[in-house]
Amino acid sequence: MSQSTISTSESSQTGPQPRRMHHTKMPTLVFELSEEVDRYVANQIATLIREKQAAGEKAVLGLATGSTPIGVYRELIRLHEEEGLDFSDVITFNLDEYWPMEPDSIHSYHRFMWENLFHHINIPKENVHVPDGTVPLKKIEAWCDDYERQIQEAGGLDLQLLGIGRTGHIGFNEPGSSRSSTTRLVTLDPKTRKDAAGDFYGEENVPMQAVTMGVNTIMNARQIIILALGEHKAKITRVAVEDEVTDLVPSTFLQKHPNSVFVIDAAASSELTAVRIPWMAGLVDWTPALVKKAVIWLSQRVNKPLLKLEEADFMENQLINLLRYCDKSCEEIVHEVFMELQNGICLTPGGDKPITAICFSPHPDDDVISMGGTLITLANQGHDMHIAYMTSGNIAVFDEDASRHTKFVNQFLKMFNLDSEETNQLHQKLLSDLVDKAPGEPDSAEIQSIKGLIRKTEAAAGAITAGVPESKLHFLDMPFYQTGNVKKNPIGEKDVEIVANLLRELKPQQIYVAGDLSDPHGTHRVCAMAIIRALDVVKEEGIEMEVWLYRGAWEEYEPHEIERAVPLSPAVVHKKRSAIFAHESQKDQALFPGSDEREFWVRAEDRTKNTARVYDELGLPEFFALEGFVQYRGQL
């Protein structure tokens, strides 16, 4: 039987080339963009399939689910439709499935695979194997043994595709999984269930158990490709490829596989030693950005303000080559970094003359949560400030909120004798839609509209509090979001055109875009890509503007990344908090809070106050709070 080897050489792959990382214990390839990762991995799979076909053999693939491999599957579909990639003799085995789980459930990995891959390619149904979430408990052990037997009868896995969980799990092999484990029923780690809560509309709806291939099953594959995309995977990626092998982080077992590779995007690489502090991993190519990063890192490492750094600090912390490269004194280098940060502090973000500016808000509260202080400052300083809410945010509203608003309207109509048989029937239908819906089932079109209206009125109240009148608000309701599910569609031309039309209408001098791109398939990134594509369209028409990126509720840009820091006074922070409070459906307990359980207003204030503290510790002027921005210059 032929056996392929994963290619990590630059000459074997057309298109953008990856960086092969040093200071890792398994081959690690970094692409700048997640889309480049998708194309690379899909081409590796396609090459294997074609090599097997040429040898008269069947390719046996182990496949993963979740948001990470979706781009790979889309590229495989494209290769099938446009380049004739043939799947007729491909056999697949999926990693895992929730248990219990019906195959037609919207949460089922069986359904996921057919919707995202199998229905779009010419793979025979009998060649597809997905763990069965309906097997009775008393029969599950025998079923798992049979799954292992089927893999062996197929000749074993030629290639196993993996993602990585926040606990370091592969498949559903949670911390503590044995190296010798095989396919079995497992109990899910609380962190895994919390991470899945968004898909299930609440952690309480996430199954407690799952069926998964074991670590040994995975390690027996002849090739393994593991993917990580986005900043939220950066920390566990570093652990997986740099730390010691341990069953507490099952992905570290892959270090011992003879033909495995970790393929990640730049965001997921940010915590790797060779990326975060490359001067500690060997010689580096000193760019101005890297000089700035290193000097700030040194200041924080030795706990000294920038202007108190000495040559000895550089020499004792492996930065002597920086001094040699710059051919300047320690004082000159530090002074340049200090002045760059100092000059980036901006009290008038819109400039001295009135301008038109747009804040693009992916969800109806990202504007005030993420850059509410700057929004207030721009409005206070007399600029023509607009806010474009790109999606309705309707999936992030609890059913009880929709029920409460529905009952309020019904009572309102009764109070003023405006009710009718038709309105009463509609009221009963709406309540039934909410009560009869299964957990995680999409809302009816009417309930989706009501939840969207709740978010819309909250957004208007928040914007008015921030000083932006309702006449300056634009609710774009972009089509990609209108699925009724957590899973969204890819960006389409209509989405781009909606943004382009607003830019044509207002011709702003500045726009602000959510640069919180931790999830490559998430709403923030999708919205950003729609805006970037729209910018390319209007640029050809002679419309150009400054583009500033802001971060979301979770964390600010690092100080070496920040190009503009807008100071916030206590009064501005208080008004920003009031604007966030206007989003009542997201107050106290948001539907999708992420892994951070703090309320959004607390996260926002902690973030901006921490940035001010960092600037103060670097020896810069002391402020109550700071919001940071990075200027977009053609690449996210």
Query: Active-site residues: which are they?
Result: 174
At 425, phi and psi to the nearest 5? -65, -40
Identify the bridge partners of residue 212 per DSSP, sorted by sequence position.
Answer: 96, 184
* CA end-to-end span of the chain: 44
**What is the residue whose two structure tokens read 């062996």?**
152
User: 510-514 and 209-212 as β-strands: parallel, antiparallel, unpaired?
Assistant: unpaired
Q: What does the radius of gyration of the chain's CA atoms come to, in whole angstroms?
A: 26
Sign of CA dihedral 537, 539, 540, 542: positive
Helix (H) or strand (E) holding 153: helix 140-153
Helix (H) or strand (E) holding 30: strand 28-31
Alpha helices in 55-139 (DSSP H): 70-83, 109-116
Identify the bridge partners of residue 387 per DSSP, sorted by sequence position.
Answer: 359, 473
Angle at 140 between CA 135 and CA 143, to 5 degrees: 90
User: 209-212 and 184-187 as β-strands: parallel, antiparallel, unpaired?
Assistant: antiparallel
For residue 173, how many C-alpha atoms fall within 13 Å in the half-sphere facing its CB? 31
Cα gap 629→512, rounded to integer Å: 9
Among 147, 29, 135, residue whose Cα is nearest residue 95: 147
Among 42, 59, 63, residue whose Cα is nearest residue 50: 59
User: What three-state secondary structure class fits 631?
Assistant: strand
User: 625-631 and 546-550 as β-strands: parallel, antiparallel, unpaired?
Assistant: antiparallel
Alpha helices in 90-131 (DSSP H): 109-116
Cα gap 259→256, rounded to integer Å: 9
Cα gap 127→122, rounded to integer Å: 11
At 262, phi and psi to the nearest 5? -100, 120
Helix (H) or strand (E) holding 186: strand 184-187
User: 260-265 and 223-228 as β-strands: parallel, antiparallel, unpaired?
Assistant: parallel
Cα gap 113→275, rounded to integer Å: 34
User: Could you tell me the CA-to-CA distances from 217 to 2, 133, 160, 220, 222 in Å, in that order?
Assistant: 20, 19, 10, 5, 11
Q: CB-based contacts of 604: which residues, under 8 Å, 6+ apart? A: 369, 370, 372, 553, 576, 577, 580
For residue 59, how many C-alpha atoms fall within 13 Å in the half-sphere facing its CB? 24
Tokens for 68? 């990470």
Tokens for 29? 């390839």
Sign of CA dihedral 107, 108, 112, 115: negative
User: What three-state secondary structure class fits 286?
Assistant: coil
Angle at 216 between CA 107 and CA 37, to 5 degrees: 60
User: Could you tell me the CA-to-CA distances from 548 to 252, 273, 377, 463 in Å, in that order?
Assistant: 38, 28, 15, 19
